[in-house]
Amino acid sequence: MLGPRSREACPTRRGRCPRDMTDLARSSASTDRLPQAHLAEILSVVRARLGLDLTGYRPGTVERRIRTAMIASGAPSSAAYVERLRTDRHLARDLLARVTVKVSRFYRDAPAVERVREALAARAAATPGPLAVWSAGCGRGEEPYTLAMLLDDAGAPAGPDVVATDVAPDALAAAEAATYPADALPELPRPFRDRYLTPVLGAGRAAYRVHPAIRARVRTLRHDLSAARAPPDPGRFDLVACRNTLIYFQPALQRRALELLLDALAPGGLLWLGPAEWPALARDRLEVLDRRARLFRAVGGGADA
């Protein structure tokens, strides 16, 4: 079971525990603020046109990213941006992509990935069929393809066994294209790169395409973790990876999203969070496998990891 959140039990770069993730992802943006009426209109347009309710996200993060999108659009004022947003669907999708963007790479945070690799190998050895993995908030796909590589390396039978979900259609399209620049690969072990990626020329520069056998293990699906009432396949997943997503939610939404992630786990299933995330409200449902890797196991059995 999860123990008290001491400094040792819950390390961060600053040597202290996040306060239920509420003191993270603070805005360091300019003090310039959008007029609140315009901000409310933008949130309303995003909800109406794109089906995304941003009211549960951290307001500082949302406003900062809206300002970035507004500047990139060339709109002379926030009022002009609102008017364009009402009629320009491409502009609305650009805003959605900027608000929900996640920085990711293959094998990101390699020590944590290695711990997950060990845990998946142990679970694969104890499971006769394919393993089921959910990458929630998958971004452009580096994480789910990394997980598919780990499954293949562990000898787990092919599925498709990785469900990759995100709220942003552009992110899912990038994941389906499965072609990445070289700067997405610095942490990927060379044997994995040689085995699972094929060099190609993309947009006039070197790029890499994920091998068809690994792409076949991944199924993309639009899913809004902030609004959904159920995971894609409740109670089925051997591993749920949701890294660096919960920190962008306000506390009430964090709790609701965490419950949804837990409901997705099979007995003894693994939950993998980001380095600044800690499931303090789930002490009765999880046990810690590795604090630094932020890897947890659902109480109720499962393979040793």
Over residues 75-120, the pLDDT tens digits come to 999 999 999 999 998 898 899 888 887 788 999 999 999 999 999 9
| Euclidean distance between CA atoms 87 and 263, whole angstroms | 39
Confidence class for position 50, pLDDT limits 50, 70, 90: confident
> Cβ neighbours of residue 37 under 8 Å, at least 6 residues apart?
none
The superfamily in CATH containing domain 110-298 is: Vaccinia Virus protein VP39 (3.40.50.150)
- The gap between the terminal CA atoms of the chain, to the nearest Å, is 15
In which residue ranges of the chain is CATH 3.40.50.150 found? Answer: 110-298
Confidence class for position 6, pLDDT limits 50, 70, 90: very low
| Euclidean distance between CA atoms 207 and 200, whole angstroms | 5
Contact yes or no for 151/117 (Cβ under 8 A) = no
| Euclidean distance between CA atoms 205 and 225, whole angstroms | 35
Contacts by 30-34 with C-beta closer than 8 Å and gap 24+?
30/67, 32/67, 33/63, 34/63, 34/66, 34/67, 34/70, 34/78
Rounded to an integer, the average pLDDT of 189-218 is: 92
Q: What is the pLDDT of residue 29?
A: 37
